[in-house]
Structure 1
Amino acid sequence: MGIIAFIIIGLIAGLIARAILPGRQSMGLLATTLLGMVGSLVGGLIGSLFVRDGRLFDLHPSGLLMSVAGAIVVLLLVGATGRRRIHA
Structure 2
Amino acid sequence: MFQIVWILIIGLVLGLLARLILRGPQSIPLWLTMLLGAGGALLGNAVSGWIGVRHTSGIDWIRHLLQIGFAVALVALVAPAWSRRKVH
CA RMSD of aligned residues (A): 2.9
Whole-angstrom CA distance in 1 between matches of 2:70 and 2:47: 8
**Normalising to structure 1: TM-score of the pair?**
0.68
What is the CA-CA distance between 1:5 and the residue it aligns to?
1.0
Task: Kindly report structure 1 stretches of 4+ aligned residues shifted beyond 4 Å.
Answer: none
C-alpha change, 1:29 and 1:78, in structure 2 (3 Å) is closer
Residue aligning to 1:26: 27
In structure 1, runs of 5+ residues without a counterpart are: none
Identity of aligned residues (%): 35
Residue aligning to 1:74: 74
**Normalising to structure 2: TM-score of the pair?**
0.68
Deviations 1:15-67 (A, max 9, x none): 000000112110121111111011111211221221177x8xxxx74454332
Contact 2:28 2:79 in 1 (8 A): no
Greater per-residue helix proportion: 2
